[in-house]
Amino acid sequence: MSEGWAETRTQLCRRDPAFYELEPGGALALALDDENWMLELTPDGRVICQTGIDMDDVKSLLSDGTPEDLGTDELAKQAKYYLQPMVAKVRKAFLNAGFEEATEMTDAYVAVMFQRPVNLAKLEDVTEAVRWCKQQFANKA
């Protein structure tokens, strides 16, 4: 856990009541828009903007009501294809701002995330990072 986490999270929750805990004392999250984008601020000092899709939703989209058994690789490929238009809208801005892009895949979901470190001991830096992330989605919907 980074220095300043407890104080920063308290201040952020006071300033923006839309923040919620993913688990007690853990990361804070904030919904960013209607395309399932979420901002997450972690106790180890990372700001993450991510979107994803549940694998069951991908199965429903692909099977069109028929209970086909689709392989995990094919489902993941289709999930990434589905997420690509949403990611393409913001990729350049995030990469230019020093964020790293990563894809996380499990049996339950596929998520695309942009992340970078933030100094939790400097509340101004954290609030600026949050403001910048929110701004990227303000006019994209």
Q: Name the residue ranges covered by the structural domains of the chain.
A: 5-138
Q: Which band of pLDDT confidence, cut at 50, 70 and 90, is reported for residue 140?
A: low
3-class secondary-structure state, position 111: strand
Q: How confident is the model at residue 67 (pLDDT cuts 50, 70, 90)?
A: very low
Instruction: Please give the biggest Cα pair distance in the chain.
Output: 53
CATH architecture of 5-138: 2-Layer Sandwich (3.30)
Separation CA 121–CA 117 (nearest Å)? 12
| CB of 80 closer than 8 Å to CB of 110 | yes
Q: Predicted confidence band at 1 (pLDDT cuts at 50, 70, 90)?
A: low
What whole-number distance in Å separates Cα of residue 30 and Cα of residue 16?
9
Backbone angles phi, psi at 80, to 5 degrees: -65, -40
Mean pLDDT over 10-25 rounds to 90
Average pLDDT value over all residues in the chain: 87
* pTM of the predicted structure, to 2 decimals: 0.87
User: Which pLDDT score, from 0 to 100, does residue 111 have?
Assistant: 93
Which among 130, 133, 126, 140 is positioned nearest to 5, based on CA atoms? 126
